[in-house]
Structure 1
Amino acid sequence: MTELIDRFGRKHTYLRISVTDRCNLRCLYCMPEEGMKFMEQDRLLSYSQIVEVAAAAVRLGMRKFRITGGEPLVRPGLEQLIAGIAALPGVDDISLTTNGLLLKQQAFKLKEAGLKRVNISLDTMDDVRFKFIARRGELKRVWEGIEAAVEAGLGPIKLNCVLLKGVNEDEIGRFLKLSMERPIHVRFIEYMPIGHDDAGWRSHYLPLSAVLEEARRLGYVLQQEEGPQGSGPSENWRIAGGVGSFGLIHPISEHFCKSCNRLRLTADGHIKPCLYWMDELSVRPALGSLEAMERLFLKAMDVKPENHEMAAVLAGTPLSHEPTERRMSQIGG
């Protein structure tokens, strides 16, 4: 079997699939407060087309799939896509990244369709601050979604917390306490300049060394560990005696490109070899031909760069490639 191995020897087994660029929140690090011009619905790949792309990926050794957005749960009938991918021979894992607002209503049918686990975005545990960061929605509904995921067996449950200097770094201790008291994996994520490199990003960027510093200030004894299923590039820790754990995803301060094993499929049908760079390959010309789709994936291996150079953005030094103009919600996180 032909495998997806790039020029730098990295074997790719993981495809992140965005199903929409629409979202029911307007998080300040993801899109402008006024929103964006969203894709026309006829630009989106259909579920059957996405399954066709996934089938080619499986034939090339991809075993792990994650559904993303925008907010994937705003697209109707998502369980149909999950079931279609789950039916492909060789698929080991299907997961979902969501803001949790609609998860209470959908958790059980997604589990029945074949979804294994969820990552839920949660940047604050304060109601007022939630309104400031997300600009809409209710924190209560996110907690209801988390509880529904637990009841449906969509575990391990992971909470994705983007740390923003001057906004939520004072809650690091609360999230660490949560990881100690509940069987939840909290993942602290560095703010990335995807689709925008401006003074706002630079002023809010916070290296994740702040998390370990706060944990030690609080007197926690830390134990480094492998982490739960699907931890990927996360650096994983557990507070001694804790029920859950926490992880650090620091693409900028300690970027993890050397072990990257993923590609991305955008909602409008482009394979992105790297999250940060402009390079994209349209799957539409290959639809209807499994062999042509496989060739497209192999081409992605030829053009994938060695790293994303986001640290160079922070330092203000020249870049070797053209950064993407798409926002994170338009790519799929």
Structure 2
Amino acid sequence: MTRLIDGYGRTFPYLRLSLTEACNFRCSYCLPDGYRPDGRPGFLTLDEIRRLVRAFAALGMRKIRLTGGEPSLRKDLPAIIAAVAATPGVDTIALTTNGCTLPRHVRRWREAGLTALNVSLDSLNPARFAAITGHDRFADVWEGVEIAQTLGFASVKLNAVLLRGVNDDELPAWCEYLRDRDVSVRFIELMRTGDNQAYFERHHVRAERLEADLREAGWMLQPRARDAGPAREYAHPDYRGRIGVIAPYSKDFCAGCNRLRVTARGDLRLCLFGEFGIPLRPLLQSDDDFDALVARISMQLGLKAAGHGLHEGRTGMTPHLASVGG
């Protein structure tokens, strides 16, 4: 049973751990000008990650998602996966990636202990994909996803950010893709961040519109698993795959929050759009600080707010999603 419970009765069996802020894509909704190093201290080391995950597992954390930036830029990613997989109590190790290195590395990640995979794929149209990401790498991502489906992952999910006037007409193509594939596509409502206001105003489309179209086409909302992510998942008897919808602007979205975040430099974030971070890195330098680390983590849950401030235009400390890990 998890010992991570906040003042609103929410429990937290799920940690999103960023491994890097760097990314090799230039997605229009996140890092349109590319990643630019800021000279701050480096990202968490393997030993620091090992100590961090051990502490969260001691508090009941069962699912760890490795994120970025782009986590596959870390040369020690297989070792990180193996270290997380070896942590007592952790039973799900997931990875979110832009997918461009999948053909070369996904087998090795699976052998290291990775159990679930999420791949960003914002369009099934190669030209649109290149326009959104700034890179003509659709073929690599497609090949990697096809390989991943043969490796026995517990789940393979594809993430597509909904963009008005860019890719919001692709639901029929996605449905056809899912007809015979045991994968899930997750449509993510574009979120306002600190540096994308103009882009947000041009391209934001409410996810509820998509959900209405799904229900009209016979897709049915499924029960939500305890350690699931924020998506509302739909299934259809005529399709092998599923569709998830992440709608951060929907009513009561935050009521089901079950995840915490740690940045690539070791700050605990209680909310993706929170106003502050709690530094954990000073307590990650020695195994002798384990009890203090566990105490610091568990004491912070009383500070978690009931919900984000996106409806009021408050984006907190998040300049772009790569800075926190989404």
What is the TM-score with the length of structure 2 in the denominator?
0.93
Cα–Cα, structure 1 residues 36 and 74, in superposed 2: closer, same or farther, change >3 Å? Answer: closer
Q: Which runs of 4+ in 1 moved over 4 A?
A: 39-42, 227-230
SS in 1 for 2:114: coil
Structure 1 residue 91 corresponds to structure 2 residue 90 = yes
Q: Distance in 1 between matches of 2:260 and 2:70?
A: 19
Q: For residue 277 of structure 1, what is the aligned residue in structure 2? A: 274
Distance across 1 between alignment mates of 2:212 and 2:86: 45
Per-residue deviation, residues 260-302 of structure 1 (Å, max 9, x unmatched) = 1111111111111100122101112222201111122123212
Distance 1:223 1:284, change over 3 A: closer
Sequence identity, in percent? Answer: 36
Quickly say closer, same or farther: Cα 1:58–1:65, change in 2 above 3 A. Answer: same
Correspondence for 2:109: 110
Letter in structure 2 aligned against 1:291: D
Q: Give distance in 2, aligned partners of 1:146 and 1:324.
A: 33
Unaligned runs of 5+ in 2: none
How far, CA to CA, are the matches of 1:255 and 1:163 in structure 2? Answer: 20
2: CA distance, partners of 1:82 / 1:211: 35
| Cα pair 1:27 1:135 within 8 Å, conserved | yes
- Aligned-pair RMSD on alpha carbons? 2.0
Q: Does 1:324 align with 2:323?
A: no
Q: CA deviation at 1:19?
A: 0.5
What is the rounded CA distance, in whole Å, between the counterparts of 2:117 and 2:40 in structure 1? 25
Conserved? CA contact 1:180–1:245, under 8 Å = no
Asked if structure 1 preserves the Cα contact closer than 8 Å seen for 2:98 and 2:120, the reply is: yes
Rate the CA distance shift 1:255–1:187 in 2: closer, same or farther, 3 A. farther
Name 2:153's counterpart in structure 1: 154
CA 1:119–1:228: 2 relative to 1, 3 Å: farther
Per-residue deviation at 1:155?
A: 3.5
Shift of 1:199: 2.5
Q: Partner residue of 2:255?
A: 258
Task: Name the aligned partner's letter for residue 43 of structure 2.
Answer: L
1:47 is aligned with what amino acid? Answer: L
Q: Give the Cα–Cα distance (whole angstroms) in 2 for the partners of residues 116 and 145 of structure 1.
A: 16
Cα distance in 1 for partners of 2:49, 2:290 equals 12
CA deviations 1:143-164 (Å, max 9, x no partner) are 0110121122224211111101
Say if 2:245 is the partner of 1:248: yes
The corresponding residue for 1:307 is: 307
- Deviation, 1:214, is 3.6
Show the 5 A alignment for 1:42-61: 42-61=41-60
| In 2: Cα distance, 1:7 partner to 1:182 partner | 41
Instruction: Choose from 230, 234, 239 the match for 1:237.
Output: 234
Asked whether 1:24 is paired with 2:24, we answer: yes
1:93, distance to aligned residue in structure 2 (A) = 0.6
1:200-240 Cα shifts (integer Å, max 9, x gaps): 212211111222344466xx322222368964221111223
Structure 1: distance between partners of 2:164 and 2:115: 33
CA shift for structure 1 position 136: 1.4
Match of 2:308, as an amino acid? H
Does structure 2 retain, via aligned residues, the 8 Å contact 1:208–1:248? yes
